[in-house]
Amino acid sequence: MPGTYEEGELDFETSSNSGVYKSVYIASDFIRLNNSSAIASTVIDADGEDKIFNIQGSNTSIIEGFTLTGMVTANWESSVIYLRNGAAPTFKNLVIKGNTEVNDAYGPIINIRSASPSFEDVLIEGHGSQNNTWRSMAYISDNSSDGTFKNVTWKDNYAWDYGIIGVWSGAKATLTNNLFIDNYHDHWRGILNIHNSSSMTLINTTVANNIATSEAQLVSFWDASNNTQLTLINSVLGNVTNPSFQIYNNGGNNAYVTARNSILPLGTSGSNQASKITWDVDATNVFADPQLDTDGTLKDNSPAIGIGTKQPVTIGSMTFTPPTTDLAGVTRPDPAGSNPDAGAYESDKAQGDFDILLSQCGYLLEINVLNSNAYTVAWLFNGDTVSTDESFIANNLGTYSVSVSSTDRS
């Protein structure tokens, strides 16, 4: 029922120190009455303790329809959700906010160690500040850990070490319809952090508009070796101005990036050490500014419109199936019969608006034509065509104009 439940710590252990955990289904009126307001009005409060859920054994509980709040960090073990040793619960339709860090907290919001939980329709928002950061929002460690996150929004969070989400020591994470927006980190690691032998797969996920005091890496590889892997399918990395901000590699070898139907603004040159990354990035991808609104949705001229695939994608021995709805619940593709879009949100356009970007000015003139492959370019000087290339070095002072003609856009 609606209310605030000052629970302290929930562990579902059958008896003290038994190591045996009962699997339960706890739900609010979100389920019983199909009442969406119950998520905000039914609060599980840590009551000042350093955990809300502490499950350290085999368990398949379902927790659905709550706000989780009131946790105060004390040490590395402090977490809103702490899972170990084969725990595999499901957390659905939750808001996680209002938890307090102390002196650049050592504990993450979600701590997964040798566990395989699922998170679905979750908002993780508003943790920390620029002067008082969390270690991370989610830390996934050990080669038996495999976290899945579907329809999860990570917003306005501040982290200092493992990034907003980090996979460590052989762990795996799959993120489908995730949005990382307006997050912050003040360390050398990225919003997404992938450590030695670990892998992270993004499916229809957007990472954008993130901030930092100096190096605002979207993704970072750390001590990469033994198939440290980033896979992008129908996903979008936000625009960056520096190659190291797209995917930072701290110097290790054997980092791998595989991308299909995705936006990588700087392509295979988008790293501080691009030569130390093995790139499997085919022609289904686009190397351009994704043209996002501040909330992560696609502008009408976004090159992410229509480049996605709705078919299962097989990479090596793994097959990934794109979602049939977007983060907002809109059916993909929209409109019906078109191709789906890359990113967490589906646009209602079948094709992005024809648009032109001038990325250089001065002697070197460059043009980038969005959402069309059927066009011709003409640079004009005093009414005469002086070049038909997309990149042109002007040899004479004066005013140049450019004409772009397309057969498939207005």
User: Does position 214 have pLDDT exceeding 60, yes or no?
Assistant: no
> pTM of the full predicted structure?
0.92
- What is the average per-residue pLDDT within 236-264? 90
Q: Which residue has the higher pLDDT, 225 or 13?
A: 13
- Residues 78 and 74: their CA atoms lie apart, in Å, by 6
- For residue 360, name the pLDDT band (cuts at 50, 70, 90): low
The helix or strand, by DSSP H or E, that contains position 152, with its residue range, turns out to be strand 146-155
User: Does position 359 have pLDDT exceeding 70, yes or no?
Assistant: no
Please give the distance of CA 180 from its chain centroid, rounded to a whole number: 5
- The predicted pLDDT at position 104 comes to 58
Per-residue burial over 263-296, b = 16 or more CB atoms within 10 Å of its CB, e = otherwise: bbbbbbebbbbbebbebebeebbbebbbbbeeeb
pLDDT for 361-378, tens place per residue?
668 888 888 888 888 999
